[in-house]
Amino acid sequence: MAGWDCHAHVFGPYDRFPLAPDRSYTPPEATLADYLAMLERLGMARGVLVHPSAYGEDYSLLRNVLARQPNLRGVIVTRDSAATALAQLREEGVRAARFSHRSGAGTNFAGSASFQDLVRMTKSLADARMHAELWTDCKVLPAIASELRRFPFPVVVDHMGGFDYEAGLNDDGFRELLSLLESGHVWVKLCAYRNALKAPSIELARPFHDKMLEANPSQLVWGSDWPHLNVAPAPDTAQLLRTFMEWTPEPLASRILLDNPARLYS
């Protein structure tokens, strides 16, 4: 199936594209050639590269990749870009800006943009015809849900909203995420393994996946999360896709891998 991988990162080569001096992590290189080989292994033709916070607001690598690969789209991290700058980036293949609003120690890390930055940039993003991507979790989601309903552009929640498999399906935050999804106020990137790293089996994440399919399959996309930053051992990306296919009946799988991302990232 020539689908879309809607969440991945590339790094390096570092002699050409060095990381920002002020960063919270230093990953190994994961080059465009590596990513394209992975896409081919998955049998996919399209991808969405999320600009890593370790590059700050230096988009040199992302812009270089998008210029060379028109089959790819980009998501940047920015705190205060003007609409004119965003419009130029859109012409180059960028479709969204990513913001972070999470519980715990990782809320404000080097190179990230906050939910307050998103609120401040609402008009600029709308004028540039971009959407917002939000890295958040179900602990803090209810407090911002009313604001998410007012944005004049799509909001894409990545990593399946950081659900807590131990809290269960009736957790208030997860129920709020389902409500936002069902009403069409958010999209969700399906990436179950990230929320089951401490679970004895990834199957414990399946009920959350199933609930999202029930809520609104037209607002779902799938992301590999390659190269699986800070996860050791890294999962087999092909197995993650196989798990998605096993959990997702047709024609929903084709809609999520093909039709939905083509609409969102057009």
> What total number of domains does the chain contain?
1
Assigned domain for 199 exists? yes
Assigned domain for 171 exists? yes
Which pLDDT does position 15 carry in this prediction?
97
Which pLDDT does position 91 carry in this prediction?
98
Which pLDDT does position 148 carry in this prediction?
97
Rounded to 10 deg, the angle between the 172-183 and 206-215 helix axes is 30
Virtual torsion, Cα 244, 250, 255, 257, nearest 10 deg = 30
CA distance 7 to 56: 18
Report the 3 state secondary structure along 13-63.
CCCCCCCCCCCCCCCCCECHHHHHHHHHHHCCCEEEEECCHHHCCCCHHHH
Assigned domain for 50 exists? no
Assigned domain for 24 exists? no
Cα angle, residue 163 at apex, residues 160 and 166 outer, rounded to 5°: 145
Residues pairing with 74 in the sheet: 49, 94
The overall average pLDDT reported for the chain is 95
CA distance 100 to 85: 21
pLDDT at 155 over 60: yes
CATH of the domain at 89: 3.20.20.140
Assigned domain for 214 exists? yes
**What is the average pLDDT across 97-116?**
83
Q: Is the dihedral of CA 173, 157, 229, 80 positive or negative?
A: negative
CA distance 79 to 226: 25
Structure tokens at 48: 């969405």
**What is the average pLDDT across 145-155?**
97
| Structural domain range at position 131 | 80-264
**What is the average pLDDT across 185-212?**
97
Assigned domain for 30 exists? no
pLDDT at 159 over 80: yes
Which pLDDT does position 119 carry in this prediction?
96
Structure tokens at 113: 């943009």
Structure tokens at 241: 């896709």
Assigned domain for 234 exists? yes
Cα angle, residue 227 at apex, residues 68 and 213 outer, rounded to 5°: 95
The one-letter code for the residue type at 155 is V
Assigned domain for 215 exists? yes
Determine the 3-state secondary structure of 260 from DSSP.
helix
pLDDT at 106 over 60: no
**What is the average pLDDT across 162-176?**
97
Spatial strand order in the sheet of 46-50? 4-8, 46-50, 72-76, 94-101, 131-136, 155-157, 186-190, 220-222
pTM of the model: 0.96
**What is the average pLDDT across 214-236?**
97
Structure tokens at 91: 């012409």
Q: Could you tell me the pLDDT band of residue 107, with boundaries at 50, 70 and 90?
A: low
Which pLDDT does position 24 carry in this prediction?
87
